[in-house]
Amino acid sequence: MDEVYAVARRIGAINTIRLVDGRWVGGNTDASGFLAPLKDRVPLRGARVAVLGSGGSARAVAAALTSSQAQVTIYARNSVQASEIATTTSCAAAPLPPEPKSWDLLVNCTPVGMHPNVDETPIDASLLTGRYVYDLVYNPTNTRLLREAKDAGCQTIGGLEMLVAQAAEQFEWWTGRKPLTGIMREAALKRLAEFVRHENHVV
């Protein structure tokens, strides 16, 4: 890249590029895409947030949350990666699982529960004691984690909302036009439904 936006540098990854006057520019929509579904729904300032996982998405989520003045703790099996993310994003790190009643918002940044392993969950239902649960997995749209969180009385947010928010930002960055996010969401749901039908047919 000839130029990299500050947010991408902080996250340490680029997921969107464009050519501007012969120069390649790199950006990252993970943080803003993650935050979009939380706006006007979850107060982040001072909120205790448990982030599950220590991969690239966890890094982006931690960066987004700390910039929103949330109190973030990274919970992961890989303590080295968790500590590295904590250091670079100014948050804390701890071993899995988070203690009951220790968080207001829980964010799943692991692939646990993703198709085809839809019966898996990253955290036992008995530990779902907070107010909000946000699962970045979008296939299936209603994961076991989200179902159990809802049963436990939590407010839930699925990964498809983040996916659509990212796509909308990328579209606008490339074209200079705001897209119709409802159309994007419907297209994604249609494709996911086709994917599930195909898998069932194969089985």
What digits encode the pLDDT tens for the residues 54-79? Answer: 998 999 999 999 999 999 999 999 99
Mean pLDDT in the chain? 92
Question: Within 13 Å, how many C-alpha atoms sit on residue 55's CB side?
Answer: 10
Which one has a higher pLDDT value, 192 or 45?
45
- 3-state class percentages of the chain: helix first, strand second, coil last, to nearest 5: 45, 20, 40
Q: State the Cα–Cα distance between residues 191 and 92, nearest whole angstrom.
A: 38
3-class secondary structure, 62:
helix
Q: State the Cα–Cα distance between residues 24 and 198, nearest whole angstrom.
A: 38
Alpha-carbon dihedral sign for residues 57, 60, 66, 69: negative
Per-residue pLDDT tens digits for 93-133: 999 999 999 999 999 999 999 998 999 999 999 999 999 99
User: Residue 45, class by beta-carbon neighbours within 10 Å (0-12 exposed, 13-18 middle, 19+ buried)?
Assistant: exposed
Q: Which fold has domain 31-160?
A: Rossmann fold (3.40.50)
Q: What's residue 7's pLDDT?
A: 87
Place 50 in a pLDDT band, splitting at 50, 70 and 90.
Answer: very high
